[in-house]
Homo-oligomer: A and B are copies of this chain.
Protein backbone atom coordinates (compact mmCIF):
# COMPACT_ATOMS: atom_id res chain seq x y z
CA UNK A 1 0.00 0.00 0.00
CA UNK A 2 3.05 2.31 -0.13
CA UNK A 3 2.53 5.35 -2.36
CA UNK A 4 5.18 4.20 -4.85
CA UNK A 5 6.42 0.77 -6.02
CA UNK A 6 9.43 -0.82 -4.30
CA UNK A 7 11.72 0.15 -7.18
CA UNK A 8 11.15 3.86 -6.55
CA UNK A 9 12.32 3.46 -2.94
CA UNK A 10 15.30 1.35 -4.02
CA UNK A 11 16.44 4.18 -6.30
CA UNK A 12 16.16 6.65 -3.43
CA UNK A 13 18.06 4.34 -1.09
CA UNK A 14 20.85 3.87 -3.61
CA UNK A 15 21.23 7.66 -3.84
CA UNK A 16 21.16 8.08 -0.06
CA UNK A 17 23.65 5.25 0.48
CA UNK A 18 26.04 6.92 -1.97
CA UNK A 19 25.74 10.19 -0.03
CA UNK A 20 26.33 8.28 3.21
CA UNK A 21 29.48 6.67 1.81
CA UNK A 22 30.78 10.06 0.66
CA UNK A 23 30.20 11.45 4.17
CA UNK A 24 31.77 8.44 5.89
CA UNK A 25 28.46 7.48 7.51
CA UNK A 26 27.65 3.76 7.89
CA UNK A 27 24.44 4.10 9.95
CA UNK A 28 22.00 6.88 9.14
CA UNK A 29 19.28 7.64 11.72
CA UNK A 30 16.45 9.90 10.53
CA UNK A 31 13.53 11.21 12.59
CA UNK A 32 12.12 13.82 10.21
CA UNK A 33 8.76 12.39 9.04
CA UNK A 34 9.51 13.50 5.47
CA UNK A 35 12.84 11.65 5.50
CA UNK A 36 11.12 8.59 6.99
CA UNK A 37 8.42 8.68 4.32
CA UNK A 38 10.90 9.26 1.51
CA UNK A 39 12.96 6.21 2.44
CA UNK A 40 10.18 3.76 3.35
CA UNK A 41 6.76 5.18 2.45
CA UNK A 42 5.82 5.40 6.14
CA UNK A 43 2.87 7.73 6.57
CA UNK A 44 1.04 8.28 9.84
CA UNK A 45 0.20 11.06 12.27
CA UNK A 46 2.45 9.40 14.83
CA UNK A 47 5.31 11.91 14.92
CA UNK A 48 4.14 13.14 18.31
CA UNK A 49 6.07 10.19 19.72
CA UNK A 50 9.68 9.35 18.90
CA UNK A 51 10.19 7.23 15.81
CA UNK A 52 13.08 6.57 13.47
CA UNK A 53 14.15 5.11 10.16
CA UNK A 54 17.66 3.66 10.05
CA UNK A 55 19.62 3.10 6.86
CA UNK A 56 22.69 0.87 7.14
CA UNK A 57 25.27 -0.12 4.58
CA UNK A 58 24.82 -3.84 5.32
CA UNK A 59 21.07 -4.07 4.71
CA UNK A 60 19.05 -3.54 1.55
CA UNK A 61 15.96 -2.23 3.37
CA UNK A 62 15.97 0.40 6.10
CA UNK A 63 14.64 -0.36 9.57
CA UNK A 64 11.53 1.35 10.89
CA UNK A 65 11.76 1.80 14.68
CA UNK A 66 8.64 3.16 16.36
CA UNK A 67 5.91 2.73 18.91
CA UNK A 68 4.37 -0.75 19.04
CA UNK A 69 0.92 0.73 18.43
CA UNK A 70 2.17 2.17 15.11
CA UNK A 71 3.82 -0.99 13.78
CA UNK A 72 0.59 -2.06 11.99
CA UNK A 73 0.61 1.35 10.28
CA UNK A 74 4.20 0.75 9.21
CA UNK A 75 3.21 -2.63 7.79
CA UNK A 76 0.34 -1.01 5.89
CA UNK A 77 2.11 2.06 4.46
CA UNK A 78 5.73 1.01 3.81
CA UNK A 79 7.33 -1.33 1.27
CA UNK A 80 9.25 -2.97 4.12
CA UNK A 81 9.25 -6.64 5.04
CA UNK A 82 8.04 -7.51 8.53
CA UNK A 83 11.56 -8.12 9.85
CA UNK A 84 12.44 -4.51 9.03
CA UNK A 85 9.74 -3.19 11.40
CA UNK A 86 11.00 -2.89 14.98
CA UNK A 87 8.44 -1.76 17.57
CA UNK A 88 9.30 -0.38 21.00
CA UNK A 89 6.98 -1.07 23.95
CA UNK A 90 4.33 1.36 25.21
CA UNK A 91 6.36 1.88 28.42
CA UNK A 92 8.72 4.12 26.43
CA UNK A 93 5.98 6.64 25.59
CA UNK A 94 6.20 9.97 27.48
CA UNK A 95 8.17 8.29 30.23
CA UNK A 96 10.69 10.11 32.41
CA UNK A 97 12.58 6.82 32.91
CA UNK A 98 12.75 5.24 29.46
CA UNK A 99 13.54 7.07 26.23
CA UNK A 100 12.95 5.55 22.79
CA UNK A 101 16.48 6.62 21.78
CA UNK A 102 17.87 4.22 24.41
CA UNK A 103 15.82 1.45 22.85
CA UNK A 104 17.20 2.41 19.44
CA UNK A 105 20.77 2.40 20.74
CA UNK A 106 20.35 -1.10 22.20
CA UNK A 107 18.82 -2.30 18.94
CA UNK A 108 21.76 -0.87 16.96
CA UNK A 109 24.30 -2.54 19.25
CA UNK A 110 22.42 -5.85 18.93
CA UNK A 111 22.78 -5.50 15.16
CA UNK A 112 26.54 -4.91 15.36
CA UNK A 113 26.34 -1.16 14.71
CA UNK A 114 27.84 -0.07 18.07
CA UNK A 115 31.18 1.04 16.62
CA UNK A 116 30.07 2.28 13.22
CA UNK A 117 29.94 6.01 12.41
CA UNK A 118 26.38 7.32 12.81
CA UNK A 119 24.78 10.20 10.92
CA UNK A 120 21.87 12.03 12.57
CA UNK A 121 19.57 14.90 11.56
CA UNK A 122 20.88 17.24 14.25
CA UNK A 123 18.75 20.25 13.29
CA UNK A 124 15.57 18.45 12.31
CA UNK A 125 12.34 19.07 14.22
CA UNK A 126 11.45 15.73 15.80
CA UNK A 127 15.11 14.98 16.62
CA UNK A 128 15.21 16.53 20.06
CA UNK A 129 18.22 17.44 22.16
CA UNK A 130 17.21 14.66 24.54
CA UNK A 131 17.02 12.08 21.74
CA UNK A 132 20.55 12.94 20.73
CA UNK A 133 21.87 12.84 24.29
CA UNK A 134 20.31 9.41 24.87
CA UNK A 135 21.56 8.03 21.58
CA UNK A 136 25.11 9.26 22.25
CA UNK A 137 24.97 7.82 25.76
CA UNK A 138 23.68 4.48 24.44
CA UNK A 139 26.36 4.24 21.72
CA UNK A 140 29.52 5.24 23.60
CA UNK A 141 31.82 3.67 20.99
CA UNK A 142 30.24 5.32 17.94
CA UNK A 143 31.20 8.66 16.47
CA UNK A 144 28.46 10.97 15.24
CA UNK A 145 28.19 13.22 12.20
CA UNK A 146 25.62 15.86 11.35
CA UNK A 147 23.49 14.61 8.45
CA UNK A 148 20.65 17.12 8.88
CA UNK A 149 20.01 17.72 5.18
CA UNK A 150 21.41 14.51 3.68
CA UNK A 151 18.01 13.04 2.80
CA UNK A 152 16.51 16.46 2.04
CA UNK A 153 19.14 17.06 -0.65
CA UNK A 154 18.49 13.60 -2.07
CA UNK A 155 14.84 14.65 -2.44
CA UNK A 156 15.46 17.84 -4.41
CA UNK A 157 15.26 16.36 -7.93
CA UNK A 158 11.90 14.66 -8.36
CA UNK A 159 11.21 11.43 -10.26
CA UNK A 160 8.46 11.26 -12.89
CA UNK A 161 6.20 9.54 -10.35
CA UNK A 162 6.82 12.36 -7.87
CA UNK A 163 6.17 15.02 -10.51
CA UNK A 164 2.79 13.39 -11.12
CA UNK A 165 2.03 13.83 -7.40
CA UNK A 166 3.16 17.47 -7.56
CA UNK A 167 0.80 18.10 -10.49
CA UNK A 168 -2.05 16.62 -8.45
CA UNK A 169 -1.18 18.86 -5.52
CA UNK A 170 -1.10 21.87 -7.84
CA UNK A 171 -4.54 21.03 -9.26
CA UNK A 172 -5.84 20.91 -5.70
CA UNK A 173 -4.34 24.21 -4.56
CA UNK A 174 -5.55 25.99 -7.69
CA UNK A 175 -9.08 24.81 -6.88
CA UNK A 176 -8.67 25.80 -3.21
CA UNK A 177 -7.61 29.31 -4.24
CA UNK A 178 -10.77 29.67 -6.33
CA UNK A 179 -12.87 28.48 -3.38
CA UNK A 180 -11.06 30.87 -1.04
CA UNK A 181 -11.44 33.91 -3.26
CA UNK A 182 -15.11 33.02 -3.61
CA UNK A 183 -15.53 32.74 0.17
CA UNK A 184 -13.77 35.88 1.40
CA UNK A 185 -15.88 39.05 1.52
CA UNK A 186 -16.51 41.92 3.90
CA UNK A 187 -18.58 40.69 6.84
CA UNK A 188 -17.47 37.06 6.53
CA UNK A 189 -15.60 35.59 9.51
CA UNK A 190 -12.02 34.57 8.68
CA UNK A 191 -12.61 31.07 10.06
CA UNK A 192 -15.65 30.57 7.84
CA UNK A 193 -13.55 31.42 4.79
CA UNK A 194 -10.90 28.95 5.97
CA UNK A 195 -13.59 26.28 6.43
CA UNK A 196 -14.45 26.65 2.72
CA UNK A 197 -10.76 26.59 1.75
CA UNK A 198 -10.01 23.47 3.78
CA UNK A 199 -13.03 21.66 2.41
CA UNK A 200 -11.61 22.33 -1.08
CA UNK A 201 -8.06 21.34 -0.05
CA UNK A 202 -9.17 18.02 1.41
CA UNK A 203 -11.96 17.33 -1.08
CA UNK A 204 -9.38 17.64 -3.83
CA UNK A 205 -10.49 16.69 -7.33
CA UNK A 206 -12.05 13.61 -8.88
CA UNK A 207 -8.55 12.43 -9.86
CA UNK A 208 -6.55 13.60 -6.85
CA UNK A 209 -7.77 13.12 -3.27
CA UNK A 210 -6.73 15.91 -0.96
CA UNK A 211 -4.13 15.13 1.66
CA UNK A 212 -3.44 17.58 4.52
CA UNK A 213 -0.99 20.37 3.67
CA UNK A 214 2.02 20.68 5.96
CA UNK A 215 1.05 24.28 6.77
CA UNK A 216 -2.33 25.89 7.21
CA UNK A 217 -4.07 28.52 5.11
CA UNK A 218 -2.79 32.02 5.79
CA UNK A 219 -5.67 34.45 5.23
CA UNK A 220 -4.96 37.79 6.92
CA UNK A 221 -6.34 41.20 6.04
CA UNK A 222 -5.80 44.71 7.23
CA UNK A 223 -3.14 45.20 9.90
CA UNK A 224 -2.83 41.45 10.35
CA UNK A 225 -1.59 41.08 6.77
CA UNK A 226 1.60 42.89 7.82
CA UNK A 227 2.49 39.84 9.93
CA UNK A 228 3.30 36.91 7.65
CA UNK A 229 2.44 33.87 9.75
CA UNK A 230 -0.62 34.70 11.80
CA UNK A 231 -3.40 32.17 11.57
CA UNK A 232 -7.06 33.13 11.39
CA UNK A 233 -9.55 34.06 14.09
CA UNK A 234 -13.25 34.87 14.18
CA UNK A 235 -12.58 38.44 12.97
CA UNK A 236 -14.68 39.59 10.04
CA UNK A 237 -13.19 40.84 6.78
CA UNK A 238 -13.60 44.61 6.36
CA UNK A 239 -14.38 46.65 3.27
CA UNK A 240 -11.56 48.78 1.82
CA UNK A 241 -8.77 46.59 3.11
CA UNK A 242 -6.12 44.48 1.43
CA UNK A 243 -5.47 40.85 2.31
CA UNK A 244 -3.98 37.72 0.86
CA UNK A 245 -4.48 33.98 0.75
CA UNK A 246 -1.43 31.72 0.94
CA UNK A 247 -2.52 28.12 0.51
CA UNK A 248 -1.09 24.66 0.08
CA UNK A 249 -2.43 21.73 -1.85
CA UNK A 250 -1.30 18.22 -1.00
CA UNK A 251 -1.60 14.80 -2.61
CA UNK A 252 0.10 11.78 -1.05
CA UNK A 253 2.23 14.18 1.04
CA UNK A 254 3.49 16.11 -2.05
CA UNK A 255 2.83 19.85 -2.04
CA UNK A 256 2.20 22.79 -4.28
CA UNK A 257 1.61 26.26 -2.84
CA UNK A 258 -0.05 29.37 -4.17
CA UNK A 259 -0.59 32.94 -2.95
CA UNK A 260 -2.74 35.77 -4.28
CA UNK A 261 -3.65 39.19 -2.90
CA UNK A 262 -7.21 40.50 -2.72
CA UNK A 263 -8.69 43.95 -2.23
CA UNK A 264 -12.18 44.39 -0.79
CA UNK A 265 -13.46 47.42 -2.65
CA UNK A 266 -11.96 49.64 -5.32
CA UNK A 267 -8.17 49.27 -5.00
CA UNK A 268 -6.12 52.45 -4.52
CA UNK A 269 -4.07 53.32 -7.60
CA UNK A 270 -0.85 52.90 -5.58
CA UNK A 271 -1.79 49.30 -4.81
CA UNK A 272 -2.48 48.57 -8.47
CA UNK A 273 0.92 49.99 -9.41
CA UNK A 274 2.59 48.00 -6.63
CA UNK A 275 0.87 44.82 -7.78
CA UNK A 276 1.98 45.49 -11.35
CA UNK A 277 5.61 45.74 -10.26
CA UNK A 278 5.43 42.49 -8.30
CA UNK A 279 3.70 40.75 -11.23
CA UNK A 280 6.46 41.92 -13.56
CA UNK A 281 9.05 40.76 -11.04
CA UNK A 282 7.42 37.33 -10.85
CA UNK A 283 7.26 36.97 -14.64
CA UNK A 284 10.89 38.01 -14.95
CA UNK A 285 12.15 35.73 -12.17
CA UNK A 286 10.16 32.76 -13.50
CA UNK A 287 11.63 33.43 -16.92
CA UNK A 288 15.10 33.29 -15.37
CA UNK A 289 14.48 29.97 -13.60
CA UNK A 290 16.15 27.70 -16.13
CA UNK A 291 18.30 24.61 -15.76
CA UNK A 292 21.94 25.62 -15.27
CA UNK A 293 21.18 28.94 -13.58
CA UNK A 294 21.91 29.42 -9.86
CA UNK A 295 19.31 30.22 -7.20
CA UNK A 296 20.88 33.62 -6.54
CA UNK A 297 20.72 34.53 -10.24
CA UNK A 298 16.96 33.92 -10.19
CA UNK A 299 16.63 36.19 -7.16
CA UNK A 300 18.78 38.85 -8.80
CA UNK A 301 16.43 38.96 -11.80
CA UNK A 302 13.56 39.76 -9.42
CA UNK A 303 15.58 42.30 -7.47
CA UNK A 304 16.49 44.27 -10.57
CA UNK A 305 12.81 44.70 -11.48
CA UNK A 306 11.67 45.92 -8.07
CA UNK A 307 14.75 48.09 -7.53
CA UNK A 308 13.86 50.04 -10.67
CA UNK A 309 10.50 50.79 -9.05
CA UNK A 310 12.13 51.73 -5.74
CA UNK A 311 11.25 48.63 -3.73
CA UNK A 312 13.36 46.11 -1.90
CA UNK A 313 12.82 42.78 -0.15
CA UNK A 314 15.26 41.40 2.44
CA UNK A 315 13.97 37.84 2.61
CA UNK A 316 14.29 35.00 0.11
CA UNK A 317 11.82 34.73 -2.78
CA UNK A 318 11.38 30.98 -2.76
CA UNK A 319 12.48 27.53 -1.74
CA UNK A 320 12.47 23.92 -2.84
CA UNK A 321 9.10 22.24 -2.25
CA UNK A 322 7.79 18.69 -2.39
CA UNK A 323 7.18 15.84 0.05
CA UNK A 324 6.61 17.10 3.56
CA UNK A 325 4.91 17.09 6.96
CA UNK A 326 4.01 19.82 9.42
CA UNK A 327 5.26 22.34 10.22
CA UNK A 328 6.63 23.18 6.76
CA UNK A 329 6.14 22.28 3.13
CA UNK A 330 9.55 23.75 2.23
CA UNK A 331 12.40 21.25 1.97
CA UNK A 332 14.96 23.49 3.76
CA UNK A 333 17.61 22.97 1.10
CA UNK A 334 17.88 25.40 -1.83
CA UNK A 335 16.50 28.93 -1.38
CA UNK A 336 16.07 31.56 -4.07
CA UNK A 337 18.20 34.20 -2.35
CA UNK A 338 21.51 36.02 -2.47
CA UNK A 339 24.39 33.71 -1.71
CA UNK A 340 22.66 30.47 -2.65
CA UNK A 341 24.66 29.04 -5.55
CA UNK A 342 22.65 25.85 -5.95
CA UNK A 343 22.37 25.19 -9.68
CA UNK A 344 18.84 24.56 -10.94
CA UNK A 345 18.42 21.11 -12.44
CA UNK A 346 15.47 19.63 -14.35
CA UNK A 347 12.69 18.31 -12.09
CA UNK A 348 13.58 20.45 -9.11
CA UNK A 349 10.40 22.17 -7.89
CA UNK A 350 10.18 25.54 -6.16
CA UNK A 351 7.58 27.72 -4.56
CA UNK A 352 8.46 31.23 -5.72
CA UNK A 353 6.74 33.51 -3.24
CA UNK A 354 6.94 37.27 -3.34
CA UNK A 355 5.85 38.34 0.12
CA UNK A 356 6.05 42.09 0.56
CA UNK A 357 5.14 42.98 4.12
CA UNK A 358 4.81 46.70 4.82
CA UNK A 359 4.29 48.44 8.15
CA UNK A 360 0.55 47.97 8.21
CA UNK A 361 -0.40 45.80 5.25
CA UNK A 362 0.98 42.91 3.27
CA UNK A 363 1.04 41.59 -0.28
CA UNK A 364 1.79 38.12 -1.63
CA UNK A 365 2.04 36.63 -5.10
CA UNK A 366 3.40 33.16 -5.83
CA UNK A 367 3.58 30.17 -8.15
CA UNK A 368 4.90 26.63 -7.79
CA UNK A 369 7.03 25.56 -10.73
CA UNK A 370 9.13 22.71 -12.06
CA UNK A 371 12.50 23.32 -13.69
CA UNK A 372 12.43 21.82 -17.20
CA UNK A 373 15.11 20.25 -19.39
CA UNK A 374 15.31 23.37 -21.53
CA UNK A 375 13.57 26.70 -21.61
CA UNK A 376 10.99 28.19 -19.31
CA UNK A 377 9.78 26.35 -16.22
CA UNK A 378 6.51 24.45 -16.07
CA UNK A 379 4.17 26.49 -13.89
CA UNK A 380 2.27 23.84 -11.94
CA UNK A 381 -0.26 26.13 -10.27
CA UNK A 382 -3.06 27.72 -12.25
CA UNK A 383 -4.80 30.92 -11.16
CA UNK A 384 -4.89 34.37 -12.82
CA UNK A 385 -1.67 36.16 -11.89
CA UNK A 386 -3.17 39.49 -10.81
CA UNK A 387 -4.59 41.34 -7.85
CA UNK A 388 -8.05 39.94 -7.09
CA UNK A 389 -10.68 42.64 -6.65
CA UNK A 390 -13.85 41.95 -4.69
CA UNK A 391 -15.88 45.12 -5.00
Give residues in A with beta carbon < 8 Å to B: 43-48, 68-70, 72-73, 75-77, 90, 93-94, 99, 120, 122-133, 146, 148, 189-192, 194-196, 198-204, 208-212, 215-216, 218, 223-224, 226-234, 314-316, 319, 326-328, 330, 332, 335, 357
Contact = CB atoms under 8 A, between A and B. Distances in A.
A245 B73 CA distance: 17
A199 to B, nearest CB: 4
Given A69-B315, A94-B332, A198 B202 contact: yes
Contacts of A229: 44-46, 69-70, 73
Given A191-B202, A198-B195, A332-B94, A45 B231 contact: yes
Residue from the set A127, A204, A231 with the largest chain B CB neighbour count within 10 Å? A231
Given A72-B226, A231-B211, A315-B69, A130 B122 contact: yes
B133 A44 contact: no
A209 B194 CA distance: 11
A115 B196 CA distance: 52
A212 B216 contact: yes
A7 to B, nearest CB: 21
Contact of A233 (B122, B209, B326): B209
A196 B146 CA distance: 43
Contacts of A327: 45, 47-48, 326
A135 to B, nearest CB: 9
A218 B43 CA distance: 13
Contacts of A208: 234
Q: Which 9 A-B pairs have the closest CB atoms?
A: A209-B234, A123-B130, A129-B132, A48-B328, A73-B227, A72-B227, A195-B203, A48-B327, A195-B202
Nearest to A315: B90
Residue from the set A99, A190, A196, A229 with the largest chain B CB neighbour count within 10 Å? A229
Given A72-B357, A99-B123, 13 more contacts: A43-B230, A44-B230, A45-B327, A46-B229, A47-B327, A69-B315, A73-B227, A76-B223, A94-B319, A122-B130, A195-B202, A198-B199, A212-B231
A265 to B, nearest CB: 23
Contacts of A233: 209, 211
Contacts of A189: 209
Nearest to A355: B69
Nearest to A50: B123
A113 to B, nearest CB: 19
A321 to B, nearest CB: 13
A133 B146 CA distance: 12
Contacts of A328: 48
A335 B130 contact: no
